[in-house]
Amino acid sequence: MSFAWWQKGVIYQIYPRSFQDTNGDGVGDLEGVRRRLDYLVWLGVDAIWLSPFYPSPMHDFGYDVADYCNVDPLFGSLAAFDALLSEAHQRGLKVILDFVPNHTSNAHPWFLASKRSQNDPKRDWYIWRDAAQDGGPPNNWVSHFGGSGWTWDEATRQYYYHAFLPEQPDLNWRNPQVRAAMHEVLRFWLRRGVDGFRVDVISHLIKDAAFRDNPVNPGWTGNGPDIIRFKQTFSSDQPEVHEVIAGLRQVVEEFEDRLLIGEIYLPLDRLVAYYGDNLKGAHLPFNFQLLDADWNAAGIARLIGNYEAALPKGAWPNWVLSNHDRPRVAARVGAEQSRVATMLLLTLRGTPTLFYGDEIGIGHVEVPPERFQDPWAKREPGLGVGRDPSRTPMQWDASVFAGFSTREPWLPLTADHETRNVSTMSGDETSILALARKLLCFRREHAAVNCGAWRLLSSDDDVLAYERRSENERVCVALNFSNTTKRWRSAMCESATIVLSTLGDRVNEPVGSDVLLRANEGVLIQ
């Protein structure tokens, strides 16, 4: 059986603002990504996913797009992107772009036309509705960033809908002209040679045609962000969305060997529907279950088993451990267990996505209120919803600004950046960076891990153990989720060898039926 590059490979997410600054403004840029390509090859990833770099007023740091077919001067130019793409391909790296089709910036020419009058040809490109009888919003839909999802336009005497900021009006994907225009956006980048897209909030693209009120969330306790007051029953995940996604897939398939990923925060039974009928939806509906998982062996085992069982026949799994919207894995499970988490991510069946900085163990970064950048944190203060700690600069060396910039970066560095950086950790064979690199190398070289079958061996006594198997090879993974020594007994591993430990100091160590796992240790057994 042959496998596509995106099935065998590992995706590395880059938040361009925070990867490498080359012009001294404290913000990363595309030229910075280009200059760090050799590092990514050294690390051993196969593809890079770039968060948005399009022209934008930056109300939501690029997720408010004003021009889908260009580069914001903050990040460089189309020529800089083309150079990055060309050099990535020369090094064997694929390039995936963030595609943001649910909404535009309110500065986008389409929206400026749409709000000129109710009779403008582009009026129906966005979601406009009359006021309710009391003059208020058309329904109870709320913004993901707090407050009503509807904003009144005095000039044309209607409300427009925005699932996020008022500066991010939602497009009307029921309009075939919108679909055609956005398909051309995809083709623009595909013709340039990009290898795929990660589609932002893909489940939001179609809303309820009758604009019914969302039901109250019975679990609402009066605490937490505004968005959880209601179930998003009618403002997201509508049946017609799958036709839209199939249309996106058709465009991608006009070009050879390209990839479509969907960002979907939904329960498992709804998530797997986004593979589409006959697997003609997203190639990879992002699987975010590890982001909210209870961190214990039994719970993780159930999660993996349920996911594997729910996958449609022939669907390819995928795993995400961190991203730019959620707390980093080291912030969630601690520095010791983040090594175990790294081994888990890179040895499960399916395509892993590794978030920049996780390979050096960046955890929670304290961002003082006066340095908050995230609009969600500013709109709903005191709720801990700020995403800034997950977007702090990559740390390259022990210099004053960690090699990221020649001036104070747009967000703070970790307190330990003088030691938690690529330069320092690359020389330490026991560092988490060395672990990530060794795991990526092992994964690339062993079919049992990059495309083999998965089978649970045990999940007792704080130890999760599973087998990865191909026709000619078997690898066992044993992970200790506790901070005490554990002994895992399995006849599967008789006459086998530990080839890699998360602690970096057990190489080619013979094992019998008993495998001793130290506190917070994971091992690969071959």
Residues annotated as catalytic (active site), given as ranges: 200, 254
Q: Determine the Cα–Cα distance for residues 332 and 476; give it in Å rounded to an integer.
A: 26
- Which tokens go with 460? 């007792």
- The 3-class SS string of 387-446 reads CHHHCCCCCCCCCCCCCCCCCCCCCCCCCCCCCCCHHHHCCCCCCHHHHHHHHHHHHHHC
Sheet containing 453-458: order of strands: 453-458, 463-470, 473-480, 522-525, 496-501, 509-511
Q: How many Cβ atoms sit within 10 Å of the Cβ of residue 445?
A: 10
Give the residue from 499, 523, 524, 516 showing the smallest Cα distance to 461: 516
**Helix boundaries (H) for 100-205:** 109-114, 176-192
Report the alpha-carbon distance of residue 141 to residue 138 in Å, rounded. 9
Residue 506 burial (CB count, 10 A): 18
CA-based end-to-end distance of the chain: 23
475 phi and psi, to 5 degrees?
Answer: -130, 135
CA angle 102, 66, 325 (to 5 degrees): 55
Distances in Å between the Cα of 521 and the Cα atoms of 88, 298, 341, 344, 458 are 35, 16, 10, 11, 16
> Residue-wise over 368-388: b if at least 16 C-beta within 10 A, else e?
eeeeebbbbbebbeeeebbbb
Neighbour count for residue 219 (Cβ, 10 Å): 8
Q: Whole-angstrom Cα distance, residue 135 to residue 43?
A: 57
Vertex 177: Cα angle to 171 and 178 (nearest 5):
25
Alpha-carbon distances, residue 297 vs 131, 294, 465, 489, 525 (angstroms): 52, 9, 9, 15, 18
C-alpha pair distances (Å), 276 with each of 61, 202, 260, 283: 31, 13, 12, 9
The answer for residues whose C-beta is within 8 angstroms of residue 410's C-beta and 6 or more apart is 17, 18, 26, 27, 373, 393
How distant is the alpha carbon of residue 368 from its chain centre?
25
3-class state of residue 146 by DSSP: coil
Looking at residue 456, its amino acid is L
Q: Contact, 346 vs 10, CB < 8 A?
A: yes
Q: What angle do CA 406, 378, 360 make, to 5 degrees?
A: 45
